[in-house]
Amino acid sequence: MGLSTSLNTAIGGLTASQVGIGVVSQNVANAGTTGYVRRVVSNSDSLSGLTIGVQSTQVQRLLDAIVQSQLWQESAGAAYTATRANALSNLDKLYGAPGSATALDTIFNNFTSALQSLQNDPSSYSLRSQVVDSAALLARQLNTLSNGIQAQRDQAETGIATAVAKVNDLLGALTKVNARIVAAPNDSATASLKDQRDLILSELSQYVDIKTTEDARGSISVVTGSGTQLFDGQPAVTFSFDAHSGLGPDDQWSTDPAQRGVGTITMRSANGSVSDAITNNVFRSGEIAANIELRDKTLVKAQAQLDEIAAQMAKALSERSIQGAAYPAGSTTPTGLELDIDKQRVNTLTFDYSSPPATGTQRFTFVDAPAGVTVPIGSDPNNKVIAIDFSAGPAAIASQIQSALDANGATGFTVSNPGTGLLRITEPGGRVAGLGAQTTVTSADADTPEMPLFVDAGNQAFAGSYDEASRKVGFAARITVNADIVANRALLSGAPGTAAGDTARASALFDSLTRDVRSFDNSSSPDGGTAPFSGTVGSFVQRVVSAQGQAVEAAQRLDEGQQVALASIQSRFQETAQVNIDQEMSMLIELQNAYAANARIISTVKEMMDMLMRV
């Protein structure tokens, strides 16, 4: 080996040692820097004749790409579970711990206890006042809970808007860093750029679940867990969100823009095509997915449960079933039946009549449904379901029923309204077989055990009519105590003229909430949409409060498990990526020894060349 070759080899080794020492120094200096990945020098050998030297040095980051990909997936999952757990925890605080003084079930039980006490002395003004006051407190608690749920939905809406803007910003920042990486040599500066890019991707993974691939140039490609391309050298899509403020129970998401009352996420691709990200289920994990689920499902169901409680309370106290009385009264051969619907709102009316023996008894079921509402026809050929407007008053009801009978071949019947609140159907041959109705008592001074203690906006009784679904939405925010009862608390004991000490109304009100079994809407069932709930109003209230607590516990357990999984994968990632000071010091000693050895070779070559020059 010639002196010049030895000199070149030593100089190459010296340069490699210098680069290595610089990298070690950089590792040590950034040992506590967030996002910094440990680096090493990769040397490539050169072969010239029989001489081996160092051709070039490259700075490489030490990380496990597979573990890093898992880390981003777990990061998205952790953001999703944390967002849900936090929101449900706040919701649970609104409900209160089951049995606590401010809990919904406790306030409901206090109300029913006041009704029970009223049975003992219906004439007591103090006991009546307790009923009114506890009822008002219950109504206000439902109002507060409903408003709290909508405030939570507002927060979710704001969270989506903020996250969408952040995703766009991160994709823009990713474009700039990625372009610099592609254009830069594979040195220490490039490694720093890749650290910056990883920090951007790490933050992006908190909003949406992502998967990445890197090509030979070092350029990154990003897709969501649903397969939507987010980035390929430049943003593949741009997101926008039309945020709504002041959400109410009626404001819900829909694929139909005309019916949608909340914001939706729109994707505009690089070629200009536009699609709805929520419709296409683009976000399946991360903070955005959690807020969408909270706003459109979790909190909507919570509102539906409160609305069901409010509606069932109001209906339990004011609904009644009535059957027609023979007309003429006392006749041995009555020609018809009549119903007294004074101070009552008819929700459903059934009319049975006799037909020729071949067809038997036929039925008409009249339901209260406004124009545009489709009612189920049913599978019974002997029962015709017809929608009419029961809100128009007895005379209009009679006219509508008469027209429906005539139009459907039930001729010979006369439907009339002979007096206040009276509905009569007659037929000379005595073919009127039955007349009954499900009604809502609309006036607190009606001579019935039932009464509208809880009312809707405008002091209107909440009727269980066929348009109930639309009216029920948000009823918990509107429910209040009947102003007529607040002004005249004696009505809790019965209609004017009721004998003092009559317990009929107080007992009926108490029994309707604590003993009467009712069927509840499947969509608001605390046991899931496929598990209908039947029971008393009181048991439903307790089940809802209990289910809310269970949901919070489940969300917190899921979040705790996800955070453990995230910490575990972070630990695995740091095993290779994190700087170990002891390891770096050991490497520094090796590099210093190599540097000294190469320097010694250079010094020796110089001495030898000086000696040759003197010969």
| pLDDT, tens only, 406-462 | 998 888 999 999 988 899 999 998 899 999 999 999 999 999 999 999 999 999 999
Is 439 in contact with 341 (CB distance < 8 Å)?
yes
Q: By C-alpha distance, which of 475, 364, 451, 370 is closest to 410? A: 364
Q: How many CB atoms lie within 10 A of CB 172?
A: 13
Q: Give pLDDT, residue 51.
A: 46
The token pair at 334 is 């009555």
Query: pLDDT tens digits for 255-283?
Result: 998 899 999 999 999 888 999 999 999 99
Q: Give pLDDT, residue 49.
A: 47
Is 480 in contact with 455 (CB distance < 8 Å)?
yes
Is 37 in contact with 61 (CB distance < 8 Å)?
yes
Q: Give pLDDT, residue 4.
A: 66
Q: Where are the domains of the chain?
A: 3-62+579-614
Q: Give pLDDT, residue 212.
A: 92
CA 328 to chain centre: 58
Contacts 24+ apart (CB under 8 A), 534-542: 537/309, 537/312, 537/313, 537/316, 537/512, 537/513, 538/108, 538/109, 538/112, 538/513, 538/514, 540/308, 540/309, 540/312, 541/104, 541/105, 541/108, 541/309, 542/98, 542/105
Query: pLDDT tens digits for 96-107?
Result: 887 888 899 999
% pLDDT > 90, the chain: 55
- pLDDT band of 382, cuts 50, 70, 90: confident
Q: What's the CA gap between 444 and 301, in Å, rounded?
A: 32
Is 559 in contact with 84 (CB distance < 8 Å)?
yes
| Cα separations in angstroms, 519 against 183, 516, 524, 531, 539 | 68, 10, 11, 11, 12
Beta strands in 174-258 (DSSP E): 210-214, 220-224, 229-232, 237-241
Name the more confident of 336 and 22: 336
Q: What's the CA gap between 316 and 535, in Å, rounded?
A: 12
- pLDDT band of 291, cuts 50, 70, 90: very high
Instruction: Give the sign of the dihedral formed by CA 254, CA 259, CA 264, CA 266.
Output: positive
| Amino acid identity, position 409 | G
Query: pLDDT tens digits for 176-226?
Result: 999 998 888 777 778 888 889 989 999 999 999 999 998 888 899 999 999
Q: Give pLDDT, residue 498.
A: 87
Cis peptide, bond prior to residue 532, ω within 30 of zero: no
- pLDDT band of 247, cuts 50, 70, 90: very high
Is 363 in contact with 383 (CB distance < 8 Å)?
yes
Is 85 in contact with 556 (CB distance < 8 Å)?
yes
Is 594 in contact with 17 (CB distance < 8 Å)?
yes
Phi (first) and psi of residue 32, to 5 degrees: -105, 10
Q: Please determine, for residue 45, whether its predicted confidence score (pLDDT) is greater than 70.
A: no
Is 157 in contact with 295 (CB distance < 8 Å)?
yes
- Return the CA Rg of the chain: 39
Residues in the chain, total:
615
- pLDDT band of 293, cuts 50, 70, 90: very high
Is 14 in contact with 599 (CB distance < 8 Å)?
yes
- Mean of pLDDT values over 161-179: 95
**Cα 366–368–374 angle (5° rounding)?**
90
Q: What's the CA gap between 278 and 17, in Å, rounded?
A: 55
The DSSP 8-state label assigned to residue 122 in this structure reads T
> Highest-confidence range of 141-150, 213-222, 534-543, by mean pLDDT?
141-150
Query: pLDDT tens digits for 76-88?
Result: 999 999 999 999 9
